[in-house]
Amino acid sequence: MPRPEFSEEYQEELDRTLRQVQKNDMVSVVYFSRGEFRKVTGMVSRIDPTAKLIRVVDTKIPMGDIYEIEEPSPIKMAGL
């Protein structure tokens, strides 16, 4: 499967979201790798804007391969 192309509008939205992500944020990232979509959820351990890489736990993801990134919903604790 070839890497999907994004509309300019979708790419701008994704770029805005990526700029808001910071080290130690919990995120879920859907990305394209080796012909398929993959998903990783965990803490952002590194963001390298120069190399255009984001690391979630131990997974290095090129920013250009990211399809979707979101913060997981907070867990609502009973009685709070």
Extents of the domains making up the chain: 8-70
The CATH label, of 3.30.420.40, 3.40.50.720, 2.30.30.520, 3.30.70.890, for the domain at 8-70 is 2.30.30.520
pLDDT at 80: 46
pLDDT tens series, the chain, 80 aa: 777 788 899 989 998 999 899 999 999 999 999 999 999 999 999 999 899 999 999 999 999 999 999 986 555 444 44
pLDDT at 72: 65
Distance of CA 9 to the CA centre of its chain: 17
Q: pTM for the full model?
A: 0.81
pLDDT at 39: 96
